Amino acid sequence: MSPVRVLIAPEGYAGLLAPAEAAAAIARGWSLGAPHDSIEVLPVSDGGPGFIDTVARALGGEVQVVMVDDPWGRPTPATMLVSTDGATVYLEAAQAGGGQVQQPGFGAQATQATHSPDGTAGDDPAAASSGGVGDLLEAALRLRPRRIVLGLSGSLVLDAGLGMLGRLIPDQPSTAAGRAALSGGAAHLVLLRADNLGALDTAIGRFGATQLVALGDLHQPLLGLAGVAATHGPALGADPEHAQLIEAALGHAVDLVRRARPERRDLLSGTSVRLDRQPGAGAGAGLGFGLAVLGAALRDGATEGPQVVGLAQAVARADLVVTGSTILGWEALRSSASAAVAHAAQEGGIPAIALCGRVEAGRRETMAAGYSGTYAVASSLATWPAFAADPARALAVRAESVARTWSPPTPA
């Protein structure tokens, strides 16, 4: 009997394991449980943390380190991947504006920064600027690529991408006021005026010879009760009142940008296609809006990210697909890289199983999404701390036992 060809293609386990680390742990456990199987490893990402690493592993290229500003103006290193032919540059917005760069301790009563009980300074989400993402794009443009692919997932800066736009405006005396007005975060956007936006054309024109593609969550709205301020603000330390102030600032700025920029019209209805309501405007905590102003193609990171690394071709080579994520619930089933892996396997008529930290979706829902089986590493909230303490080991142990179920040894 031929060995079972197993494709191991998990996404990252948020805050615990990067995609490549998760794939290595599953492969290690699977090889112990089913040493007779043939294993191919393909970590996947939706464009969030680990995206560049997954693309570099699959496609090769040169990883370059650049220094950018974090959302509060501190220098921080970030990487970009240049394809082997130099035609495409891959970027991760989260490296310049993810939660990992925020100093803890921002309080509900603070206006700019406060101090946590241990004395560390807290960073105000209303003062956070996406200028660092503009730095990344600047670095990529200097290489003159034909295409830039920017992953948005994991970015938490609540300025609708306007700080990014400000950083892309050429630094000249005539544009200084516009750059400053756009670059101060949501707290400064309340002071934004229409005449601050006159230089936006210069930023947009810089991408005339370069296709800009952004990968993110197309379902996240920019404004409103389910908008980025309401959904991402709490993770950054903003209480409801503070989040409402950020929402108001974003609404003011978005309105001015819409007035300053011509919006295309729907050919059937004749109505304007609003930039702030198009799918993907809220991706990356609102970065999608700024990228839409630049003319970027906004695409679903959950499906496009895995395809960038050759998921379809890898699935075609497999007899069994193993994926995984931190928590498999309704949100992951709706939009995640692991769900895209299961869907691709389902389309190819190949069974797919998931090894997850927790499984919160029912069997009917997971089977409809393409999973032939789902397995939790932590069977309850009580066992979650043990998994979180050593996730790689726990994932490998679970993979070993699941492998014996799905690929028992061939009888002598």
Tens-place pLDDT, residues 247-271: 999 999 999 999 888 777 767 776 7
Closest by Cα among 369, 333, 307, 352 to 47 = 307
CB 159 within 8 A of CB 286: yes
Residues 261, 225, single domain; the answer is yes
Q: Which domain holds residue 241?
A: 51-303
CATH number for the domain that contains residue 323: 3.40.50.10350
- Which domain-ending residue is among 303, 328, 353? 303
Tens-place pLDDT, residues 38-48: 999 999 999 99
Is residue 412 assigned to a domain?
no
Residues 40, 56, single domain; the answer is no
The predicted pLDDT at position 178 comes to: 77
Residues 334, 367, single domain; the answer is yes
Residues 122, 249, single domain; the answer is yes
For the chain, the C-alpha Rg in angstroms (whole number) is 22
Give the SS3 label for residue 210.
Answer: coil
pTM of the model as a whole: 0.89
* Residue 59 to residues 52, 56, 205, 299, 371, Cα–Cα distance (Å): 10, 5, 30, 20, 27
Is residue 167 assigned to a domain?
yes
Identify the band that residue 196 occupies on the pLDDT scale cut at 50, 70 and 90.
Answer: confident
Residue 112 or 207, more confident: 207
User: Cα separation of 187 and 248, whole Å?
Assistant: 10
Question: Residue ranges of the alpha helices (H) in 60-189?
Answer: 94-97, 131-141, 162-168, 176-182, 186-189
Residues 337, 259, single domain; the answer is no
Residues 59, 181, single domain; the answer is yes
* Residue 377 to residues 3, 139, 157, 410, Cα–Cα distance (Å): 26, 41, 32, 27
The predicted pLDDT at position 121 comes to: 46
Residue 97 has pLDDT above 70, yes or no: yes
Give the SS3 label for residue 122.
Answer: coil
- Long-range contacts of 174-178, Cβ-Cβ distance < 8 Å, separation of 24 or more: 174/199, 175/199, 175/202
The predicted pLDDT at position 195 comes to: 86
* Residue 115 to residues 118, 125, 315, Cα–Cα distance (Å): 8, 14, 50
The predicted pLDDT at position 338 comes to: 95
CATH number for the domain that contains residue 280: 3.90.1510.10
Is residue 205 assigned to a domain?
yes
CB 190 within 8 A of CB 84: no
Is residue 204 assigned to a domain?
yes
Residues 155, 249, single domain; the answer is yes
